Amino acid sequence: MKTQPSDREIIKTRQRAWATRAGQTCDADGYCVCIDDNIFQGLSSGARKDLESGDGTELGKNGERGKILALHSSSALACNWFDYWRGRDLTPLSRAFGVPARFSTLALEQKFPTGLGGIGPNLDVVLCADKIPFAVESKFTEPYTKSKLKTFLKPKYFHGDRDLWTAAGLPGCQSVAEALRAERHAFSVLDVAQLLKHMLALAHNFGPGWTLCCLWFEVPGSLADQHRRELTDFTTQIGADTKLLALTYQELFAQMLPFVGQDDSEYMSYLRDRYISDAVVSWTSQGSLNKGFTTSL
């Protein structure tokens, strides 16, 4: 009996197929030869500076290849999607996300300390409107694996019975954190611990008003359904603590369509061909859009 490919393998296979169509060379593990082969129009100097300042190994360290070289890299996905807008009018993004005020700044891989010392959370994308951050955590293959690390918080978050989230104005998050600590929860595919740390860092650095968006790539199936359910459960459990927006990349692509123009056609075609295989977009000579979209892959 032939084994069905996992959702992670579906993503990897389709990314390798895109590389073949685009004439890009990659190895058996799906890693490109150079970063620019994996990034639309190449890695900008601003993006490189952001990634170099981050705590991750996206660009590689100690002779090891960078994570962003992987066709299936969530960092590459975020960079391909957002770095295009660096130096451009960010209105299409703010409208697509449903943010009333126009985004004025954009940065990748931003570090925000929690006040506990050590390595603080790194947010994949941070957009700001009126100095209020709209942070994005990008997920590509990550929702399609189960790991206890996704629900593990280090003892330092509870040292001396400190209620860190409550002190930061996030009592609902504190309740979820305590449930993780006691292993009384039903999460398995959603990286709840990471979301909690991001929220703590945002509250510590900015107070109220910020938004965290969990932006994830959907491969329709049981794990995607579970990821969506766990996002809904998590949002319900944290209550009115904060604004957590859950959105798939496919949904964001569809929501961007009314707000982009003819000048963005090459960029949108790249996203469509590489990531949104079932989106059909025709660009008229007037620069308007005739669009048909489905989230099925």
What digits encode the pLDDT tens for the residues 244-253?
999 999 999 9
Q: What band does 278 get if pLDDT is binned at 50, 70 and 90?
A: very low
Q: What band does 207 get if pLDDT is binned at 50, 70 and 90?
A: confident
* 82-111 per-position pLDDT tens digit: 999 999 999 999 999 999 999 999 999 999
Q: What band does 75 get if pLDDT is binned at 50, 70 and 90?
A: very high
Considering only residues 241 and 271, tell me which one the structure prediction assigns the higher pLDDT: 271
Q: What band does 241 get if pLDDT is binned at 50, 70 and 90?
A: low
Decide if 2 is inside a domain: no
Decide if 170 is inside a domain: yes
The pLDDT value recorded for residue 287 is 36
Q: What band does 161 get if pLDDT is binned at 50, 70 and 90?
A: confident
- Percent of the chain having pLDDT more than 70? 91
* 17-41 per-position pLDDT tens digit: 999 999 999 999 999 999 999 999 9
Q: Report the first-to-last Cα separation within the chain, whole angstroms.
A: 24
- Please provide the average confidence, as pLDDT, over all residues in the chain: 89
Decide if 209 is inside a domain: yes
Mean pLDDT of the 235-251 span: 90
Q: Would you say the pTM of this structure is higher than 0.85? A: yes
**Backbone dihedral angles phi then psi of residue 202, each to the nearest 5 degrees:** -65, -45
Contacts 24+ apart (CB under 8 A), 22-31: 22/274, 26/71, 29/70, 30/70, 30/71, 30/72, 31/65, 31/69, 31/70, 31/71
Mean pLDDT of the 173-182 span: 96
Decide if 297 is inside a domain: no
The pLDDT value recorded for residue 280 is 38
Buried b (16+ CB within 10 A) or exposed e, 205-238: beeeebbbbbbbbbbeeebbebbbebbebbbebb
Q: What band does 60 get if pLDDT is binned at 50, 70 and 90?
A: confident
Cα–Cα distance list, 178 to 114, 150, 157 (Å): 18, 14, 10
Decide if 1 is inside a domain: no
Decide if 131 is inside a domain: yes
Residue 77 pLDDT more than 50?
yes
How, if at all, do strands 243-248 and 122-129 pair? unpaired
User: What tokens appear for 161 in the block?
Assistant: 């019975």
User: What tokens appear for 229 in the block?
Assistant: 């359910």
- Percent of the chain having pLDDT more than 90? 78
Cα–Cα distance list, 251 to 32, 96, 228, 246, 275 (Å): 27, 9, 13, 10, 12
The pLDDT value recorded for residue 142 is 96
Domain encompassing residue 110: 7-292
Mean pLDDT of the 180-197 span: 96
Domain tally for the chain? 1
The pLDDT value recorded for residue 5 is 85
Decide if 285 is inside a domain: yes
Mean pLDDT of the 225-246 span: 91
* 104-114 per-position pLDDT tens digit: 999 999 999 88
The pLDDT value recorded for residue 2 is 55
